[in-house]
Structure 1
């Protein structure tokens, strides 16, 4: 193969593997071939990197591998590699950034790549959908907010949040 060394970035751990800036390919010097990644069920592109001296293998996500090659080090602890455009298969360096877990989560929600779970699907939910639907009805029947809160074992604030549409708002629209 005709690989120009000045365009290659060596991986900091798997030193037989390189990322090529010009062709955007991963090359294994030991095998003298381009590594073809596959799409994992998570949506990320992955490949198996092998340490030929220690006979160890590791499944590598391509975006992490590329970023580690470009940085010349492993990803810092507490950090992840984010796909700026949200496309898990777009592993061009201009689409990758090393950010904190918190920043990554905020990015995912801001770009609608992740969505909060509503109602009973939310692990923080203390009420069932039927209970949440019944609260406005009980209030209309004249039951006090405090009594409703005691009945369902939740705070008065939670009842007011449901009645005002701040919580369980997907039910209020029905």
Structure 2
């Protein structure tokens, strides 16, 4: 890959800034989301494309010149343009900490030297045999259940199964054990949603309070917490967050008594 000099990097930053100044362009660095409006007329948003290696990018143009700019680079530019120019000019790369190239949250990106980036890729299984390959199909299914039905976090699953977060994420997204993921998804359609939201302990306690103490309907509760109705149903029956359910019902019985 050709390295850009300082002047070229400044031009790249200026190009991105011109597009971000357009009405309709927006970004959320914590979520890793960048939306770019078309420069020409009212043609809507620019398409976010993906390379064969999994990197997301925008094709940007200005005054007849076209440039391909990766999304993770755009996020780092918007976070601190001067730091971006300084780091890239001295030959640094931008590394996805989790190994998931579609996770462009600012917290998942870091500057690394080319050699350190290669070591990181090997350590998390991006080069050679992926580390999730040591997980059996039964364990992969347990991970899917743990994430989608018991609200376990990526970090919790990573620790429990002793593989990196990036490897966990590939299983949960169906990039590894694809057939198993499809089967799980078909059996649990209400659980495996693109906008699957993680509930906190506090939110689960609120759901239980709304249902048992305030008499609210499951549909109303689901809408207030932006989750599926079936999720609320499983929580109030103790099929999810069983430990929180048991604690709540035990305390409720003490109060009633």
TM-score (norm 2): 0.36
2:2 paired with 1:12: no
Q: 1:113 aligns with which of 105, 109, 126?
A: 126
Q: CA RMSD in A?
A: 2.5
Q: SS at the partner of 1:112?
A: coil
> How far 1:57 moved relative to its partner?
0.6
CA deviations on 1:76-103 (whole Å, 9 max, x unpaired) are 3311110000011111111111111111
CA deviations on 1:131-169 (whole Å, 9 max, x unpaired) are xxxxxxxxxxxxxxxxxxxxxxxxxxxxxxxxxxxxxxx
Aligned twin of 2:255: none
Name segments (4+ residues, structure 1) moved above 4 Å: none
Aligned twin of 2:54: 43
Structure whose residues are more often strand by fraction: 1
> How far 1:35 moved relative to its partner?
2.9
Gaps of 5+ in 1: 1-10, 117-174
Q: 8 Å contact 2:49–2:56 — kept in the other structure?
A: yes
- Residues 111-150 of structure 1 mapped to structure 2, 5 A cutoff: 111-115=124-128
Structure whose residues are more often helix by fraction: 2
Q: SS at the partner of 2:14?
A: coil
